[in-house]
Amino acid sequence: MAAYVIRRLWQMIPTLLGVVLLVFFLFKYFGSDPAVVLAGQNASADQIEAIREQLGLNEPTYVQLGIFLKQIATFNWGNSWATHEAISHLFATRLPATLTVMLPIIVLQTVLAVPFAMLVAYMRGSLVDRSVMVGATLMVSISLLVYVIVFQYVFAFRLGWFPVQGWSNSFWTNLTTYSVLPIIVQVVVALAPYTRLYRTFFLDEIGHDYVRTARAKGLSEQVVMFKHVLRNALIPIMTNISASLPGILVGSFLLEVFFSIPGLGREILLAVNRNDYPVIQAFAIYIAVLTMLINLATDILYKLVDPRVVLK
């Protein structure tokens, strides 16, 4: 196991280097000149030149790349161009808000979609099954934007059940007051596609021989479904969830924008609108690292749950 983990960490280095190169050259060759962005609209040519000198933009490319690598290795990104807040501080303060919204979403949508999908799969071909499938297709076809707009209007603005938007300093208030509506919206939206997907996993298992054997030896339907089918279907479901885990880092950007939640996604969007390159670059690399680590953790977890999986 230790050898596996070390090898995986070792393999991350070229990928990470690729991400660094991609981010570096993307902004160097396609982005606008940082000095012009920083100097503002009324800057003179001298001022722009001074900023170029200060940022090291007049150095050859490999020196600039070296500076970039040094920043990454030392976690010293300097400050945001727009707010002059330290970028590492920015990251550390925005991550909790994102997780406060995203973790309950992941848990709730799984807890709801799995039994629902099992039920629908059990009643395959029935009217309920068909109407749920048609309903799911219809629900998925409507943009997430529409759900957020309508839910915010109806439940927060009209009925006043939830605050329209906002965030506080207390984790508990955030969880029980401000993030409730965003969580509901996302879970409602995600329920349809996940039910559809998990239903196929259940159907796949129900078709196997061991289910017929279990029924033939006289086991009750509950035992067949919960002890035999559910356990096996959980494996592809887990794969699916673990594949979606990295998404929790920025996945809620739309909710964060609508509900004024100071999370990572909203921060990146603000940075994009302000041409705040250091923030975008730093976030891209930090999140890539986190994504790779999450993937490694889920692979290990996978091994613990399913003994048949061989790590290589």
Partner 1 sequence: MTAAVIARDKIAPARGQGVWAASWRRLRADRVGMGAMVVVVVSLLVVLATGLGLVGAHWQDEVAVPNAPPGFMGPAPAEAVGAIAEPKGPNVDLTDIDPLAPKYKEWAERAKQYKTVEHPKEETRIFGADRLGRDVLQKALKGAEVSIMVGLLAALVATLIGTVLGALSGFYGGKVGDLLEWIYNVFTAMPDILLIFAFAAVFGRGVLPVVLILALTGWTGIYRQIRAEFIKHSVREYVRSAEAIGASKASRMFKHILPNVSHVALVQLSMHVVGFIKYEVILSYLGLGVRVDQVSWGTMLSESQAELILGYWWQLVAVTAMMAVFVTAFSLFTDALRDALDPKLRGLE
- Piece of the chain touching partner 1 by CB under 8 A; list 171-179, 218-226, 227-235, 261-269: 261-269
- Piece of the chain touching partner 1 by CB under 8 A; list 88-96, 144-152, 220-228, 303-311: 144-152
In sequence order, what are the beta bridge partners of 86?
Answer: 79
Identify which of residues 55 and 219 has a Cβ nearer to partner 1 in the complex.
55
Under rule CB under 8 A, residue 157 binds partner 1: yes
Residue carrying structure tokens 């090291």: 56
Under rule CB under 8 A, residue 126 binds partner 1: no
Rounded to the nearest 10°, the torsion over CA 129, 131, 132, 136 is 140
Which of 291, 296, 300, 306 binds partner 1 (CB under 8 A)? It is 291
Identify which of residues 47 and 124 has a Cβ nearer to partner 1 in the complex.
124
Rounded least distance, CB 102 to partner 1, Å? 12
Cβ density class 117-132: b for 16+ within 10 Å, e for less: bbbbbbeeeeeebeeb
Rounded least distance, CB 260 to partner 1, Å? 14
Other C-beta atoms within 10 Å of 228: how many? 19
What CA–CA distances, in Å, run from 141 to 138, 147, 162, 180, 190?
Answer: 5, 11, 26, 24, 12
Under rule CB under 8 A, residue 283 binds partner 1: yes
What's the rounded Cα separation, in Å, for the pair 241 and 194?
A: 10
**Helix, strand, coil abundance in the chain, percent, nearest 5:** 80, 0, 20
Under rule CB under 8 A, residue 165 binds partner 1: no
What CA–CA distances, in Å, run from 288 to 57, 209, 233?
Answer: 26, 42, 30
Under rule CB under 8 A, residue 297 binds partner 1: no
Size of the site for partner 1 (CB under 8 A): 54
Under rule CB under 8 A, residue 262 binds partner 1: no
Rounded least distance, CB 200 to partner 1, Å? 5
What CA–CA distances, in Å, run from 22 to 49, 89, 111, 238, 285?
Answer: 26, 24, 38, 31, 10
Chain residues binding partner 1 by CB under 8 A are: 14-16, 18-19, 21-23, 26-27, 30-32, 137-138, 140-146, 149-150, 153, 157, 196, 199-200, 203-204, 246-247, 249-251, 253-254, 257, 265, 268-269, 271-273, 275, 277, 280, 283-284, 287-288, 291-292
